[in-house]
Amino acid sequence: MYRSMLYLNVKEGKAEALIDWYKQVDSLGQAVALAGCVSTEIYPLPDEPNRLLVTALWRDEGDYQGWVDHPFRKKLTGGINEFLDDTFNEGSKGLLLTSILSAPN
């Protein structure tokens, strides 16, 4: 399995609005429905109110790359930038980790 981790640097005071935007566009649900994502979550970072972490579990690297390249995700690029300090582009990716041990097998 593979775990993607995408850190988002959110503009001051925009974290709740970004979470609402994620709900509205159903980005997490669409990753599961369209790209083979097993599960995905958004986490606030303790003591960092302007940072969020988006994680997702993937069966393989190809599924994650398929999501990065998916037209639905690319369409969201302009909308998410309204909330971020950093510029998110169509090819922006998170860190992809490979599991070497898990339970249950």
Give 79's contacts (C-beta < 8 A, 6+ positions apart): 21, 25
Q: With bands split at pLDDT 50, 70 and 90, how would you rate the model's confidence at 77?
A: confident
Q: Where is 48: in which H helix or E strand?
A: strand 48-58
Amino acid at position 23, single letter: K
pLDDT tens track for 14-47: 999 999 999 999 999 999 999 999 999 999 999 9
Residue linked to tokens 């398929």? 66
Closest C-alpha among 60, 54, 67, 62 to residue 1: 60
Tokens of 85: 């300090």
- Beta bridge mates, 44: 52
Burial (CB count within 10 angstroms: exposed 0-12, middle 13-18, buried 19+), residue 56: buried
Global pTM value: 0.91
Domains and CATH numbers, the chain: 2-98 (3.30.70.100)
**Cα-atom radius of gyration of the chain, to the nearest Å?**
14
CA distance 67 to 31: 7
